[in-house]
Structures are given as structure tokens and as C-alpha cells.
Amino acid sequence: MNTLSTLALAALALLCLASCTDNTKTAEGGTGKAGMHGGDSHIQATPFSTADVSADSFVALASSETGLEFDNNVSNPQVLLDQIAAQAGLASGDFDNDGDLDIYVAGIEQPNRLYRNEGGFRFSDATAGAGADLALDGEYCSGAMFVDVDGDGSLDLYVFTRGSGNRLFMGDGSGGFTDESEARGASVGNTCVTVAAIDIERDGDLDLYVANNRMGRESMASQMDTDIQGSFRIDQNTGRYIMTGEAAEYYYFDELNKARVRPDDDQLLINDGTGHFDNGIADAGMDHIGWTLMALAGDYNEDGYTDLYLSGDMETQDYYYINNGHGKFTDHSRTMLRRTPYFSMGADHGDLDGDGLLDIFVGDMAAADYKDGKIQSGDMYQYRQELISFMPQQNMRNCLFLNRGFGWMSEVAELAGVKASEWTWSCRIADLNCSSTPELFATNGYTMRFSVDVDAMNEAAAMSAAGASDEELQQHALSFGTLPRQDVLFTADTPLHYKKPADNWGITGESISCGTSIQDYDGDGDLDIITNRTNDLLGVWRNDKQCGNRLTIDLRQPGSNWQAVGARLKAYAGTKVIASEVTLARGYSSAESARVHIGTGEQTSLTRLEIIWPDGKLQVERDLPCGSHYVISRRDDLEAWAPPAQQGIYTREDFAWQRKEADTLAQEFEEEPLLPWQRSTLGGGLGIADFDLDGRLDVYFAGAAGQTGRLYMGADGGFAASSLMEGSIPADVEEMGVLCFDANGDDRPDMLVTGGGNEAGGDTTLYRNWLVLNTEEGMQSGWISTSEVSSGSACSADIDRDGDLDVFIAGRLKPHRYLSPVPSELLLNEGNLNFVDGAGSLPAGGISGCISDACFADLDNDGWQDLLTCDEYGPVRLFRNVDGKLQEGIDIAPHGIWTSLTVADTDNDGDLDIVAGNQGLNTKYKADNEHAMTLFAGEFNGDGKRHLVEAKQKGEQEFLPGRGRSCSGYAMPQRVAERFPRWHDFANASFSDIYGDPQEIQEHYYATELASMLLVNDGKGGFSAEQLPLAAQYSIAFGCAAGDLNNDGDIDLLQVDNYYATQPETGRWNAGYGQLLDGKGSGGFSAVEPGRSGIFLFTDGRGVQAFDSDGDGLLEVLVSVSYASPVMLRRNAQEQSGTGLSVNLVGRDGNRWAVGSRATLELDSGELLLREQQAGSGYLSSSLAPLHFGIPQGSSPVKLTVRWADGTEATVTEFDDSGKVTVLQF
């Protein structure tokens, strides 16, 4: 051990700022003691030792090199058979106060071990001399944590056990420990997996959240039916089953009234300030049932109080407890997370995207290999009701939660490429190459291969049914051996673009790894890895990679929590910001020291470091060079830190009406068992017009089948519900698109409402499209045509320039025949409400498909309104209008799952660009030109029924089945289940083996582009495609409003998103909140995070329109929503960069609102701003509001040029201060 005096060591550390060539322990690889930094007595710095980077890899170290001789051997079959008992973790901490991090390793059947770090990556076994019973020989242990519970300045050791209470060993600071578990109230948790240290009420001491499980789950489940006989009652009010009597201690009923084995309750040990504890979990509001495997503590909503994420295994959900202050918590998992893993394992947090917020990575068991995935996929129908009903919805894969502000999370594991990391235990976020973009690391392997082999479990079920004994069943399970796996590493050059490095950075070899510690164990400033492996020696990897710049930090403050557990740090290095929090429990059954590691990449120093101490005081340090370990002590007289204000750009107003979608899940999946997503919740839209001609804009929201839509009339300060539309449209109609236009030339806005969905059953008249005439006597309704196609979008323009408005109605779907094309119709207005079939103005053969959106716009600048459409599993297509005739369609974007179209001049170059909504990049579906997302349809099963088959393209004509053996077998028993009874057989079969030659299948659909796109118009009829910012790809897009939302002269976008009604096994697409995209004028956009925008629309957005509802010169945004109330978003007045100009175009009779006209505003700066009046845009929606221009601060309008729909022009050169202009067509 290093025996230098503190004074001599401090002087030596100062010399090391220039040179690190001494032969002390620090030079050998330990962190050592610290010297003063730059004359600041509260900061001490010790330079790192020189790293060996010759291997540019992690290097595995043998036990003979490190002295870590621990082998976690397990031989007891009952332990191996238990689902989680055969895994254990470890803890890091400086228990002897010499500056180096030591470790304590938990043994399952082996005695625990305490190892002292001697420097140079050498450890010595200090167990025997550290105190009686520290090894806990004979106990089953799962993990441990070094934590000072009594505030005496010495680390104590809390050990988690199975079968007996946890053990608390009080440290004396010099390496000795004494067991005081019983006396301090810490001998709790007979099946503890992990413990989180958290000061829940900010009283200065550390409380302990004890996460428990239960041993013997499988045996209890087998005898549950017998045990619960006569031990439950039914709540007459709710219909819920409630367990009673002694059985309630061991079993419970879930929300589906299924009887379940009850895990042991978690406990929250409240510290009285002296290291004595009482359980306060009920008082804290966290009295729940959960198979908790990880308790992760962090301040996720940035309010200064530490929150808790609890990962729940099996059927019990994850909990997201937000700390309300004063020790009270509320679970917000249903709203702020919305989806979580099903078998949640370990978890960790870190700043993945450099926005200064803590993100969360939670593991599950999901195979990355195609064949393994098919073998392990299980019987999904066994979990189907849980996947449908449980909230938050559980997904059988990893989840990566991106913090969007104030703790609201978007789950983006699919987008980031990290959904699958095999049989995962620990999940860690750590900057292993010190680039400032952290890596993700997951330990892997399992003691029971039987548990991941569906065929093996089916064989066991058959044996049990045949009367096999418990011993025979156990021997059968054990006979399959173990499932060793390589630990998984994900790295990213840019945030959220993760991939697996080809060589796994040297972390190779298969094992059964569980707990992990990722710390700098040799004092060179980069992070090394130690894993606790079952039936193996510890896995030890020294980091010899060529890493970026870095520093490490220990915080020190007076009081019980002297390590400042719960403190938050924000490090600024150039343009980068890196958030950290002092957190002990991380990964799985493991805990780290309070040391913080920060990688800065090419930046050589921190320009600013913000430390928010646990009591909410702020300390700022500046100009900290990289290359050292710092000990930073708390300054005196600090000011209070102010949490970020939650006042966003927008405020939200909800309407007092909801669109209530019919529950068609059972019917839809009975008709088409392999349907990718439901078709009944695609609507509905909204329409905006001044229906009562009082000068105020009104709005209509389309109603779902079983309810009528709702009309709101503009009123002072908002909107008032109106009965004017009652009875106009039958309630059984699934209202989809809402088109406001003047149908009969009476200068009053009328309304076309399309009938769609698939709820009509045999009454196909419900798919007809309703024309509601706005007359002086009231609303009068009828059918605009006799077409009985399930429709969606509708749009209007004077395509033949005869002075009245024609209508295009897009055919959306054929009920219960997914992707079967349906015809669209063009209706030419001949006047006097005479709409005739316009097939002669369409291309030969008409326009058909599954058109998700359509709009008219002059896209080639010739003065004629062209038609733009997009298809599901089809292209974005432009039909040019030549003298009133629509030409053959031109594909201007590849096949995608296109959802919506919006046109606007996004780059201010005088032509209209296109924003095309798509499925996004955050689903299980992936596609590019070589690997199309593919769907086949045809008769496969010998029953004469059309079936759907999803596929993944590998080569030109080579495919892999997209769905697993379970779902496919239930859908096509003759084709799949009977021919491939074993999951292994299905996994090893080719697509052709299962379904036949793909070239001979009747129907073939594909998509090669899934990103929402900006299609930039070159002014010559060509378009180039650019992906919208990554934040716009987190969820499926629906409506998109384009307008100058901040009055800076540039077009902005607000995209609404989410889709609840996906196939249950896939998981809902609900990571969006409504994405604000700030226009940059050149056509580019930057994403505004919800925490800044104030937009948190986590329900299913559909239609959207931007309009100035109150005449204040700012655009409001109106959103129609599925399953919930419509929303008005009002921009705060201070959030603008100029003023608004409202332009009211008054056309001639027949086209009073000048649909198809365009206005170009010239500013005194020479800039030209273009707007076009449309009827039909924003997904199933329309608006006849005046055109809006933003006038940047310091600019003024000088000329407005209007090109009317018939090609004539008008000019305005005089503008007053009203912010309004009316232009009449003569």
C-alpha cells in the first residue's frame, strides 16, 4: 500500500501536472491522492497515469495478472433452475480511503470476496482481515453496495441476500467492517436483487430502496390453483377479483383477473440521520406489486428531487416514480413512458444525445440473430391479452428512453439500433472511448438454455401432461445445459446511431455474465470492465483503446451525504454538454462508487462545470483541463439552483369532446390474423371555415363510428360547441376527411365529410361521402356520389378553370383485405350542385391504391392545379394538370408507408416543396433499396382465404419470414403449424420452404423508404429528397401543419404523430409528442424538443391546421386526435421574431375563398414569400382561413402579388398597421 503522508503526496501530485513519471502508486495505475488545482483549495487534481493504447482494444486480463481469483461456481440444481437466483453482481468503492477503487464480489454458492486495489490493476484479497462474517459463507448473495449510511465519512457495505435478510456492515474507514444489520433495521428483503441509495426527502442522509423478488416462483405457480381455492372475492363495483386470507401473501389477481404468484414487497428504508432505518414505502406512495429487478435513481424531470425507475420482470410493469418532494412519489409510467420492456432486467442512465438530460437504457431478453429470435419467440398468444391491455404496454425487447424534457420520455431502441442484446442482465451507459457520446454495454448469458427453447418447453409440457414427476421434469430442463453468450457492446459516432463494432472492441468469449462494474481501475482515466460470471472467473477487461480526452471527479461536501450521492453535473466542452448524476446502483445487482467519469473527445478541457448539489445549491467551476482526477469540495455561500421553467413556446387547450374509436381489435385480427396494424383508427380530420359568416373561424371535428362529429363556433376568447351539425350525418358513419369548400357557389362554406374505416359491416352505404350544404336555413346533407368505397382524404380545386371547385376523393382501403387497391374518384363541378364523374380528366385506368393522403397544388408553376397523392406501401405520386387533364402519375418519392402530404415553399425560392409523412424509423420495420420492407398476400393455407405474410428482403429474390412460428402457426395451421411443428424447424426453413416461391405469390407489396421526408422542388418539375430531422422519425407521422409559426419569415412545421392500434406483438408506435420543426429558410429544419416547445401530445394525432384564430398575428395550431380530445396550441406572444400579416383573398362567385390562388409577398429586404390557398391538406383536413405571412423584425412588406386560380393577377403595394390585407378579384 502507498504509505506517503498526505502532505508529501499533495506536493507530489502538483509535480505530476507536468510529469507523471514517478514510481508511486499513482504512476503504477491507481488514482491516488490529489493536489490543488490552479490555486483553488477546494479543488484537488491528480494527473492520470499514461495509458497503454498499443492494442487499441480492451484486453482480457487473467486472474493471475490481477489477483482477482473469484470463481462464482454454482452446482445446486435448484439454484440453477430458479429464474434469477444463479446470477450475482458486485460493488465498487474506495473502502480504505486510499484513492483507488476496490471491489466486493457477491457469491451465489461461494463466499463473497473483498478485493483491495493495489494499483496497476493488481488486487489483493482483503476479506479475511476486514471483519467477521464479511464473506457470508453459506448465504446466497445477489449483490452489494458501498454506501455511508451513518455519515461518519467511512463507506459501509450493504450486501443483498436471498433466503435471509440483507446485511449491513459498518465501515471504520481503514478497511474494517462490523455487522450491525439487525440493530439498524437493515436486515430486510429475503429475496433482494438490488438496492438504490436515494435521499428521497432531501434531508441530507441516504435512504435505501430495497428491490425484492421471490424464490421458488415456478413451484408456487404449479400449486397456485390448489392454494387459492376459496381465497378470493369479487369487487361488486369493479368486477375485479381480490385475493383474501393467507393466500393474499403469496398470490394476487392482475387487472385481467388472472391469478399470479405474488413477489415479495419492495421496501423503502428511511434513514433517521444516524444510519437506522424504518420501512416507509406505503407513506411514499409506492405500494405496488412488482418483480423488481432494478431500482434506478435519478432526477429525470429536473426539479431537484431524485426520482426512481423500477424495472419489473414478467407480467408486472415497470414503474416511473416521480418524486413530488417531501418523500412522496407518483407513478407516471402510463403517460411519460407509455411502453416498457416485458421482462425488464437491469437499467442505467446517462446523457445519450448531449442535451444535458438523463436518458434511460433498460434491458430485456431479445435475440439479435434471426434464427435464435425465431426459436426463442415463444407462444405470443400466451401473452396476447397482456400486450393488449397492460399499461404501459410491455414489449419483449430492450427499451431506450430518450428524455425529451422534464422527464417525458420517447422510447427509441428500434431507431437507435439497440433493441436486442441477447439474454441481458446488466445494462450500462458508459463512455468507453471517451468521445463524449457514450456506449451501451450489456452482460449476457443464462444458466438454463431450456428456458429460451420453445421446443424444449413444449416437450416438458407434454411430459407433465403424461404424468412425469417433478424430478423428471427438472432433469429434462437441466439436460439442455447453459446458454453462454458474448457480452454486447453498442457504439455510436453520432448520437442515437448505434452499431456493434466488428470485433466487439476485444470483449470476446461467451460466458454467463451478470453484474458489472465499469470504472477506471488503473488510474489512466479510461473505463475498465469487470463482470461477475456464473460458473466462471470474473471477466476482467483493461481498456487499452485509443481514447479521447477525459477526466474523473469525486465530489465532497459536509454532512452525512459527503459523497454527494444524487448530485447532478453538467459539463460543457466546446459545443458539447454532458450530463451526469452521482448514482450508486447501476446495471443489475451491482453498485458503483460515487466517482463520475466524463469523456470530452477532442476537447482538451471543460470550459464550465455545473454542480447541482443534492440540496439544490449550484456551484460553477471553469476551465478544468482534461487528463486528471479531480476531488471537488463544496464551496461556501452557494446560491440556490433554479429548476428550468416549464413555460414552453406553446400552451395547450383541450376541447370538451372526444373522438371515441370503436374497439375493433378482435374482429380485425380474426379476419386477418397477421394484419400489421389495425385499419379502424386512421381518422379523423378537421375542417376550418367561417360557417356562420360572422368574421370568426369555426371548426368541425370528424366523429368516429358510433358518434357524431362536433362543430365549434368561433367565440370571443375561443370556441363554443354548436348543435348546427346535429343529425347531418348518421352516427354509424366513420367520418374521415373533412373538406371545407364552396360546393354550390353561394359564397357560403360547405363541407364534404368522407365515410371510411372498416366498421360498416355489410352496410356499405355507410362508406358514402356526405356533402353538407351550409344554407341560410341551416345545414342540409346528402351524398355527393353513390361510391361505396371506404375513403379517406378529400381535396378541392378548380382543375378545369371553369370557375367552380372540383373534388377528388381518395379511396383508402378495402375492409378486411389489407392493401387491396380501391379506386379514387374525381368529381367535376358542373354548377347547380351537379357533380359528375371526372374519369375523363384522369389518366387511363383512373387512380387507385390505398391512398393515405391527397392534395391539389401548382407544383410546376404553370398556373394549373396538379394532384399529389401518397400510398401505403406505394410511392408519392404527382399527376400534372395539363389544360384541365391529369396526366399519368410520376413517382417523386419511392415506395413507403406514406401517411400525409403538406405543401409549402420551405426554402423561399418561389416554388412549392412537399413534406411527406411516413412510418418513421422507430419501428421493427427496416427498409432500404436493397432490403425492402415486404408483404405478400395470397392463398397459402388451403382454406381459400387470403392471408398476409410479412417478409424481410435479403437479396434480389431472397426473403426471410417476418413473423414468428407462433403467430404464423395460429393464422395458417395447415401451412405452418402442421408442417413445422417445432420452432427449430421453422427457424431453419427458408421462406420458400414455408410459403413457396415468392415470385409465384399472387400479391407483392414493398417499401424502400420509411423516413418522413422533405421533397425539395427544383422549380423545373423535379424533386430531391431529404430526411426530416431525426426527432421527426421517432414515431409514425400523420398531419403536418406548415406555416410561419414564429413570424421570422421562414416556414416552420408542426407534425403530429403516433399510432396506438398496431399488432399487439409489435408494440405501439407512441414515442411522439407532436414535433415542432423550426424552419431555417434554406429549406432545412431544426427540431425543437418538447421541453422547449411545450408540446406533449402523446396520444394519436391525426389532422392538423395552423391558422390565426384570434387575429393577434400569430398562428395557432389545431390538432384532431384519435381516442382523445382535440387540442388547440397557442403560441406565447413573446415567442415570435416579427409580426404577422393576414391576407384575405376574395375570389369570384363559385370560388369565393380563391382556392388554388397564390400570393407572393415581397419584403423591403428583397425576400419573396410564397403562399397558396388550398382546400384539403394536413391529413384528412382543410382550412379556408386567410393566408398568413410572417414579417421578420426589421422588415416591411412592399408588394403583394396575387395570381388567381384562373391565371389573372392583382397587385397590392399599400399596407397599413392593421396587419391585415383583403384582396378582391374583379
Are 145 and 176 in contact, with CB atoms under 8 Å apart?
no
The pLDDT, as a whole number, for residue 36 is 61
Q: What integer is the mean pLDDT of 1090-1108? A: 97
pLDDT at position 889: 97
Are 473 and 465 contacting, i.e. CB atoms less than 8 angstroms apart?
A: no
Least confident of 209-223, 1140-1154, 1166-1180: 209-223
C-alpha cell at 259: 391469478
Q: Could you tell me the CA-to-CA distances from 1037 to 129, 734, 1064, 1140 in Å, in that order? A: 63, 21, 20, 28
Residue 232 β-bridge partners: 243
Amino acid found at 1070: N
Residue 942 burial (10 A CB sphere; 0-12, 13-18, 19+)? exposed
Listing DSSP states for 765-819 in one string gives GGGS-EEEEEETTEEEEEES----SEEEEEEEE-TT-SSS-EEEEEEEE-TTSTT
Contacts of 907 (CB under 8 A, 6+ apart): 913, 1016, 1081, 1082, 1083
| Beta-bridge partners for 313 | 291
Terminal-to-terminal C-alpha distance of the chain: 96
| 3-class SS of residue 904 | strand
At 276, give phi and psi (nearest 5°).
-110, 145
Distance from C-alpha of 193 to C-alpha of 1215, rounded to nearest angstrom? 72
Q: What is the rounded CA–CA span in Å between residue 93 and residue 936?
A: 57
What was the pLDDT predicted at 173? 87
CA within 13 Å, CB half, 835: 25
Cα 326–chain centre separation = 30
Pairwise CA distance, residues 779 & 763, whole Å: 25
Q: How far apart are CA 1091 and CA 646, in angstroms?
A: 7
Dist. CA 175–CA 96, nearest whole Å: 5
The overall pTM is greater than 0.85: yes
The rounded distance, in Å, linking the Cα atoms of 917 and 1072 is: 13
Q: What is the DSSP letter of 496?
A: T
What are residue 238's phi and psi, to 5 degrees?
-105, -15
Going across the sheet that includes 1187-1192, the strands are 1187-1192, 1138-1146, 1220-1224
| Mean pLDDT on 912-919 | 98
CA pair distance 74, 263, nearest whole angstrom: 24
Between 1191 and 232, the more confident residue is 1191
> What's the confidence (pLDDT) of residue 35?
57
Q: Which three cell numbers stand for residue 523?
A: 488510474
**SS3 at position 90:** strand
pLDDT at 37: 66
Whole-number percent of the chain with pLDDT over 70: 97
Size of the chain, expressed as the number of residues it contains = 1226
Q: What gap in Å lies between CA 613 and CA 619, rounded to an integer? A: 8
pLDDT the model gives residue 16: 33
User: How is residue 475 written as a grid cell?
Assistant: 432433469
Predicted confidence (pLDDT) per residue in 867-880, tens digit: 999 999 999 999 99
- Asked if 144 and 106 count as a contact pair (C-beta separation under 8 A), the reply is yes
Q: With beta carbons less than 8 A apart as the criterion, state whether 1215 and 1197 touch.
A: yes
Instruction: Say whether pLDDT at 27 is over 80.
Output: no
Higher pLDDT, 957 or 1163: 1163
Q: CA torsion, points 960, 962, 964, 965, in degrees to nearest 10? A: -50
The answer to whether the beta carbons of residues 562 and 555 sit under 8 Å apart is no
Distance, in Å, from the CA atom of 1059 to the CA atom of 659, rounded to the nearest integer, reads 15
CB–CB of 90/106 below 8 Å? yes
Q: pLDDT band for position 287 (50/70/90)? A: confident
CA angle 1027, 1029, 1033 (to 5 degrees): 80
- Residue with cell string 466487439: 504
Neighbours of 960 (CB within 10 A): 15
Q: Give the integer Cα–Cα distance in Å for 893 and 895.
A: 7
Q: pLDDT tens digits for 289-299?
A: 999 999 999 99
In this structure, which amino acid lies at residue 1116? E
CB 291 within 8 A of CB 213: yes
Query: Is 1021 a residue whose pLDDT tops 90?
Result: no
The answer to whether 1186 and 751 are in contact (CB under 8 A) is: no
Res 932: pLDDT: 97
Q: pLDDT confidence of 84, banded at 50, 70, 90?
A: confident
Residue 224 or residue 269, greater confidence = 269
| Residue in the block written with cell 374509436 | 661
d(CA 545, CA 543) in angstroms, rounded, equals 6
Average pLDDT across the chain, whole number: 94
For residues 46 and 538, the answer to whether their CB atoms sit within 8 Å is: no
pLDDT at residue 501 above 80? yes
Fill in the DSSP letter of residue 408.
-
* pLDDT exceeds 50 at position 14: no
Q: Mean per-residue pLDDT for 1199-1216? A: 97
- What's the pLDDT at 226? 87
Confidence of residue 698 (pLDDT cuts 50, 70, 90): very high
**What is the Cα gyration radius of the chain?**
33
Percentage with pLDDT > 90 across the chain: 88
Three-state secondary structure call for residue 29: coil
**Residues 6 or more apart in contact with residue 212 via CB below 8 angstroms:** 189, 190, 191, 192, 193, 263, 264, 265, 266, 267, 292
Domains of the chain: 455-480 (no CATH), 651-926+1009-1146 (2.130.10.10), 933-1007 (no CATH), 1158-1224 (no CATH)
